[in-house]
Structure 1
Amino acid sequence: MKKYLTAIAFASTLSSFYSVAQQGNVSVNTLVKTTNSWDGSSLPAYPSGTPEITILDINIPAGTTLPLHIHPVINAGVVIKGQLKVTKPSGEVLMLNAGDPIVELVNQVHTGKALGEEDVRIIVFYAGEKGKAITVKKQ
């Protein structure tokens, strides 16, 4: 019942926000709205523990390849600058440029690489659980 009431309160708040946003010079542009990660796999249910939101401003130097890793929680981001190549061990690739959104893979091994001569800057939002990791390196 508590989750239901929380969902109703959130929907009401969101509805109010859009009503207010339509006034004046405020604009709202939906970058992505989905129930799937970028590879088409379904997003898992949210954790049942205490929610913890983390927002990271990540800078990946040009030419840097991130280690293989997983995200055990739902996360999404927007590339602010640069070009990022995200790759799964299967060879499946997602290319991202400045302005592109990404709904990340959950519990799937992947890596990223900053292509070109410009650093990549990406803002990532994680919907996790208090005390739990948001990224885990794989060997």
Structure 2
Amino acid sequence: MNRSAKYLLSALVLTTIGAYSLAWAHEDGVLKVTTVAKSTKAWDGEPLPAYPTGQPEITILRIVIPAGEKTPLHTHSVINAGVLLSGELVVHAEGGLTKTLKPGDPLIELVNKPHWGQNDGKVDAVILVFYAGVEGQTFTHIVDEHENHDAPAEK
């Protein structure tokens, strides 16, 4: 058997073993994959913008909104999505649009649109958020409600 045939046979064997291992692991309950969110649109139903150009940088933040508190009015300049880990959260956008989140609910955030989150519950709301930006970019901006312009917020 020539060298190319040996490599092909080895790759086929490894692929087959890997496929059986994955199936075996899944059948035993070791591996389970669930799509939590997949969309081309933000939570308001509008299409997501194109990704920015530059060196991609992913940021993951764990955000705690205390019971009875709300976030400032803000915008995001990049695509981001999160999953509410605990508590309850209502997100608000212009025009009275709202979305209520319970633990485990996903949220594909608004981009370049003012919004805020409000925790009317009795426990802290904890959300894990993934931001798809570019290196060095500030991705959240606090909106000055009096002057109606963006001021950079901390990353």
Using structure 1 for the length normalisation, give the TM-score: 0.83
The whole-number CA distance in structure 1 between the counterparts of 2:126 and 2:120 is 12
Shift of 1:26: 0.4
Percent identical: 48
Gaps of 5+ in 2: 1-18, 145-155
The reply on whether 1:106 has 2:101 as its aligned counterpart is no
| Counterpart residue type for residue 54 of structure 1 | T
The one of 81, 85, 91 aligned to 1:86:
91
Distance, in Å, in 2 between the alignment partners of 1:21 and 1:126 is 30
Could you tell me which residue of structure 2 aligns to residue 122 of structure 1? Answer: 127
Contact 1:21 1:28 in 2 (8 A): no
Q: CA separation in 1, counterparts of 2:35 and 2:59?
A: 21
Number of aligned residue pairs: give it.
121
Query: Over residues 12-54 of structure 1, what are the superposed CA-to-partner deviations in whole Å (9 max), with x where a residue is unaligned?
Result: xxxxxxx675441100000111100001110011111111100
**Structure 1: gaps of 5 or more residues:** 1-18
1:106 Cα deviation (Å)? 0.5
Higher RCO (CA < 8 A, seq sep 6+): 1
Structure 1 residue 89 displacement after superposition = 2.1
In the superposition, the TM-score normalised over structure 2's length comes to 0.75
Structure showing greater Rg: 2
Q: Does 1:77 align with 2:87?
A: no
* Secondary structure class of the residue paired with 1:56: strand
The 1-side partners of 2:110 and 2:138 are apart by 15
Aligned ranges 1:57-68 → 2 under 5 Å? 57-68=62-73
| 1:134 Cα deviation from its structure 2 partner | 1.4
